[in-house]
Structure 1
Amino acid sequence: MTVRWEPYLWEEPRPVNPHEFELLERQWGVTLPEEYKRIVSHHQGMTPEPGTFKLAEGNDRLSVLLTLTVDPEKKPYSVMRVHEVLKPLIPPGIFPFAKTPGGEFVCFDYRETPYPPRIAHVSVELSITPIADSFSAFLNALYDE
């Protein structure tokens, strides 16, 4: 199914400068998936349609791709800010890239595979549930509820 990206944080798309990816990769010490870079470079701060994904028990919805571009008014949606908050609470190798309506996160999981990372759901209780083997597989599995 083709994913359409709808405005969420801003009315117009805010393209990501390639330097922002380099900075994030350096800070996190990882290589981000190319498809993620391609998608977020044009759709940061946007919501996917369809946006529902399966969990081991039930499902959840992706509400927004976190932002790489610094916007002081949208700080709670920044990948850097969210990672700062989560870092002391989760194992090393987990990096957020999207948020759910319930305040949970969809993250890259580099713990077992350095590249490509798996995709995991981090609940408000901080439990980590695998949801896809790659970013591409995650996007391809999104569906309408």
Structure 2
Amino acid sequence: MKNLDLKKKVSVTHDELYSLEIFFNITLPISYREFILEFNGASPEEAIIRINSEERVLERFLIVSEDEKLDSGLMQYEIKVVMAQIEERLTANEDLVGAETLPFAYLFGGDFLCLDFKEDAINPKVVIWDHNESEELSPVFYKAFDNFQKFLNAMSFS
């Protein structure tokens, strides 16, 4: 992985990550767990990601936190808060318990990078959730990377 020049915004514990897994009924990939333990809520100066021959700007990684006193400016980027706002637009299954896709990063323009657990619960692929095209119970995703580690390998920070 390249030098990311990122600084963690919010501390996170293994227990908080486990709590997130229980809450959404998922198992986080090891590469994501390690990344978020080091860079929870980080916002790079400028992160350009090449996805399917298109360059996208990553604005910030979402936050995993159970701290109710988290600054409101940061709280809007906490994963459970983001999910509460868009969850009906992230799945076509209205009876879903937990999550099929979990947003982990905010892209310039309002889209999110998500871990997609639908086909592989252990090694989810990374997809872009298109906020403009998605509607309630009718999400639109575009495959970005085969897994989180390949996403990390593709990031270029300048």
TM-score range, shorter chain: 0.7 to 0.9
- CA deviation after TM superposition for structure 1 residue 108, in Å: 0.3
Against the structure 1 CA distance between its residues 82 and 13, is the aligned structure 2 distance closer, same or farther, given a 3 Å change threshold? closer
Paired with 1:37 and 1:118, the residues of 2 have a C-alpha distance of 15
Against the structure 1 CA distance between its residues 48 and 36, is the aligned structure 2 distance closer, same or farther, given a 3 Å change threshold? farther
Paired with 2:33 and 2:131, the residues of 1 have a C-alpha distance of 26
Give the alignment's Cα RMSD to 1 decimal. 2.1
Query: Given that residues 3 and 48 in structure 1 are in contact (C-alpha distance below 8 angstroms), is that contact kept between their aligned partners in structure 2?
Result: no
Paired with 1:143 and 1:72, the residues of 2 have a C-alpha distance of 29
Tell me the number of residue pairs that the alignment of Structure 1 and Structure 2 aligns.
Answer: 141
- 2:80 is aligned with 1:46: no
Query: Given that residues 10 and 63 in structure 2 are in contact (C-alpha distance below 8 angstroms), is that contact kept between their aligned partners in structure 1?
Result: no
Paired with 1:28 and 1:44, the residues of 2 have a C-alpha distance of 18
Q: Report what 2:79 is aligned to.
A: 79
What secondary structure sits across from 1:87 in the alignment?
helix
Paired with 2:155 and 2:45, the residues of 1 have a C-alpha distance of 8
What secondary structure sits across from 1:63 in the alignment?
strand
Q: Report what 1:133 is aligned to.
A: 146
Unmatched segments (≥5 aa) in structure 2? 92-98, 135-139
- CA deviation after TM superposition for structure 1 residue 137, in Å: 0.2
Q: Report what 2:60 is aligned to.
A: 64
- 2:115 is aligned with 1:119: no
Query: Given that residues 55 and 129 in structure 1 are in contact (C-alpha distance below 8 angstroms), is that contact kept between their aligned partners in structure 2?
Result: no
Q: Report what 1:16 is aligned to.
A: 12
Return the letter of the residue paired with 1:143. S
- CA deviation after TM superposition for structure 1 residue 50, in Å: 6.5
Q: Report what 1:97 is aligned to.
A: 104
Return the letter of the residue paired with 2:55. N
Return the letter of the residue paired with 1:29. N
What secondary structure sits across from 1:61 in the alignment?
strand
Identity of aligned residues (%): 23
Query: Given that residues 51 and 63 in structure 1 are in contact (C-alpha distance below 8 angstroms), is that contact kept between their aligned partners in structure 2?
Result: yes
